[in-house]
Amino acid sequence: MFEPFTYKSLEAIRKKILDLDLSLPLSNNVEALKQPLEFKKISIPNRLSIQPMEGFDAKSNGAPSELTLRRYKRYAKGGAGLIWFEATSIVEEGRSNPHQLMLTEKNYKEFRNILSLVRNLSKKTLNNLDFPNNCIFILQLNHSGRYSKYNNKKYPIRAYHNQELDHALGTTEKEGKVITDEELEDLEQIWIRKALLAKEAGFDGVDIKACHGYLISELLSSYKRLDSKYGGFSLKKRSLFLKNIIKGLQNKNNKFIITTRLGVFDGIPYPYGFGVKKNQNSILPLTVDLKEPIELINTLNDLGVEIFNITAGNPHYNPFVTRPYDTPIKGGSIPPEHPLISVDRILNLCGAIKSEIKNEIITISSGFSYLRQYAGFVASGLIEKKKTDICGFGRMALANPEFPKQLFQTGIINKNKSCITCSKCSEFMRYGKETGCAIRDPLYRKKD
């Protein structure tokens, strides 16, 4: 069923969507992406976001480097209304790479300096594009959990044992450890402290990362973590760690935004996957069951979380679910489904959630980059249908950081600068290299 991207026109992709009986809406223009978003204390100038894509180019102390600054300056010149800074570790032992960003009391001023430069550049860009409000900057705070490294060697810090995930990572049960409840209690306080430090650094808000198989994400699926206050068959217990962090930040932040990038469908067979239908065979792809994710979103919304950056999958286990592609990373496999089916699933998760949630929230969609130059028409269609509020681009931003400006000024993304879903950036990440686009960015083409 797999087919590579060969669509030569908007009509060709529209026909394929109909042939596959998918529900991706295609607008005839991208005007909806220019609309500002006003929501309570939040003002976002337009409907485009840069998603958190790790560059693995931080200094050894975790502070941003000149290469980090280069990436975010390129994003700022693009004109997106929301820039989501990449996964930044809260502790040394939670880093997935020795050059992953890490926020500390010793380096937070370096974050503040780079943010000031990027914010000023973004303001000029948005003014030139006639957007009245300033860009919002969110810092994603993370602990890599099962994907942590110690002394640049794999040292998985698991929520529970799973041989299949160990195999995908190339580790054994004897390597690393299962984190204790006491260690998790300590991490809650560290996470809260680092979130407040992000505020001191000047960010508009923080993302308590809960997706893609990292620590909080794995806790949400820890059905097999028995005799623990953070695991078992009760969602109340499996979500306790995330809720405790958010509770610890209540009433301390005034206009500071607390949000989460939430994986609502892991695509891993139950009882090891969150948001998957129970009692089904393990043949991929699995069926989505949003009962628990919606219950969790309602609970987090009651705690004051109003923005949810929705995603799915585990890029270390089933990368086609979270980032549909034509070409797998070296040693990877062709997806078991048509990529447009993967795109349809991840993009429509927001619409399914918005139709069931009890209160109004802001949702951010993921998974547009596969659509290349036509992505803006689907993004605009989703906004028009009220299936999402903001459209987030990751790989496209690495390949073509000026894609927002192209959409606003010409109505279409430049085909010759688009991401081609070749998986090279993911391959760089997998092997711990400085990460960027090997096709469109000469700096990274030399590294390939």
CA distances, 246 to each of 44, 91, 356, 434 (Å): 23, 18, 22, 32
* Sign of the dihedral defined by the CA atoms of residues 374, 320, 391, 56, in that order: negative
Per-residue pLDDT at 287: 93
Reference 436, options 425, 426, 445; nearest CA is 425
Q: Is the pLDDT of residue 446 over 80?
A: no
Q: What percent of the chain has pLDDT over 70?
A: 98
Element (H, E) at 89: strand 82-89
For the stretch 133-159, pLDDT in tens is 999 999 999 999 999 998 889 999 999
Which residue in 391, 409, 393 sits closest to 401, CA to CA? Answer: 393
Least confident range of 76-85, 282-291, 344-353: 282-291
- DSSP sequence for 372-440: GGGHHHHHHHHHHTTS-SEEEESHHHHH-TTHHHHHHHHSS--GGGS----SHHHHHHHTT-----TTT
- The number of CA neighbours under 13 Å toward the Cβ of 339 is 24
Pairing of β 362-365 and β 390-393: parallel
The count of other CB atoms within 10 Å of the CB of residue 117 is: 14
Cα–Cα separations (whole angstroms), residue 88 to 164, 224, 352, 377:
27, 28, 29, 32
pLDDT of residue 231: 98
Q: What are 254's two structure tokens? A: 């005034």
Query: Treating both helix axes as pointing N-terminal to C-terminal, what angle do 339-356 and 375-384 enclose, rounded to 10 degrees?
Result: 20
Q: What CATH number should be reported for the domain whose range is 10-445?
A: 3.20.20.70
List the single range of 194-198, 229-233, 276-280, 382-386 with lowest mean pLDDT.
276-280
Rounded Cα–Cα distance for residues 78 and 339 (Å)? 27
178 CB burial (10 A radius; 0-12, 13-18, 19+): middle
Q: What percent of the chain has pLDDT over 90?
A: 92
> Using one digit for the tens of pLDDT, what is the confidence trace for 23-50?
999 999 999 999 999 998 899 999 999 9
Q: What is the pLDDT of residue 40?
A: 87
Structure tokens at 268: 């891993």
